[in-house]
Amino acid sequence: MVSYPAKLKLRLDWSEMDLFGHINNVSYFKYVQASRVNYWEMIGLTKFHSESGIGPMLASTSCRFFKPLFYPGSIMVQASITNIGNTSFKMKHQILDINHTIAAEAEDVIVMYNFKEEEKAVIPEDIRKKIIELEGLTA
């Protein structure tokens, strides 16, 4: 079972509704993006990128939708890194409705990328250690 150390509460916006009166599926990807960036900030990855030019690049993302969300309301998006490789890592997200019921689950593959050299980069050891610490894993 995945534990989710990074949690982000978001308010649903009226503009995110679609013709059918529920939150549009595209908005779920926006929530996952906010969750992803929140996690990166927690481990210092956004700061590392601004200082070094090496940072995360989304390689793939997918989402499974379980139930609709409705305005007005709020959600909790939680994230965990489920696998760490040499140059990439996998993230899992859950979007929970106001009743803490799973509305959707998403998975990302993130590749570390050197934006100056335009090539993949090794995950920095300091970032790896922060992930392990946040996730409560053993090195």
The Cα–Cα gap between 87 and 118 comes to: 14
Q: How confident is the model at residue 139 (pLDDT cuts 50, 70, 90)?
A: low
For residue 107, being part of any structural domain is answered with yes
Residue 6 has which token pair? 């990074």
The Cα–Cα gap between 113 and 78 comes to: 24
pLDDT number for residue 2: 81
Whether 78 shows a pLDDT value over 80: the answer reads yes
Q: Up-side HSE of residue 61: CA atoms within 13 Å toward CB? A: 17
Give the model confidence (pLDDT) of 7-22 as tens digits.
999 999 999 999 999 9
Q: Phi, psi (5° rounding) for residue 49?
A: -65, -45
Residues 6+ apart with CB under 8 A from 10: 31, 34, 74, 75, 76, 77
For residue 1, being part of any structural domain is answered with no
For residue 12, being part of any structural domain is answered with yes
Alpha helices in 1-139 (DSSP H): 25-42, 45-52, 125-135
Q: How confident is the model at residue 1 (pLDDT cuts 50, 70, 90)?
A: confident
Question: What is the total count of domains within the chain?
Answer: 1
pTM of the model: 0.93
Which domain range does residue 40 map to? Answer: 6-135
> Are the beta carbons of 121 and 85 closer than 8 angstroms?
no
CATH number, domain of 18, equals 3.10.129.10
Instruction: Calculate the average pLDDT of the chain.
Output: 96
Whether 128 shows a pLDDT value over 60: the answer reads yes
